[in-house]
Chain A
Amino acid sequence: NAGVTQTPKFQVLKTGQSMTLQCAQDMNHNSMYWYRQDPGMGLRLIYYSASEGTTDKGEVPNGYNVSRLNKREFSLRLESAAPSQTSVYFCASSLDTSNTEAFFGQGTRLTVV
Chain B
Amino acid sequence: GDSVTQMEGPVTLSEEAFLTINCTYTATGYPSLFWYVQYPGEGLQLLLKATKADDKGSNKGFEATYRKETTSFHLEKGSVQVSDSAVYFCALREGTGTASKLTFGTGTRLQVTL
Contacts and interface: CB of A to CB of B under 8 A. Distances in A.
Given A33-B101, A58-B101, A90-B44, A98 B106 contact: no
B43 A40 contact: no
B104 A43 contact: yes
A17 B89 CA distance: 32
B79 interface: no
B10 to A, nearest CB: 12
Nearest to A30: B97
A24 B52 CA distance: 31
A34 to B, nearest CB: 12
A31 B89 contact: no
Interface string B85-114: 000010001111110111111110000000
9 A-B pairs with least C-beta separation: A104-B43, A42-B106, A99-B51, A50-B98, A43-B104, A101-B46, A104-B44, A99-B32, A42-B104
Interface of B: 31-32, 34, 36, 42-46, 49, 51, 89, 93-98, 100-107
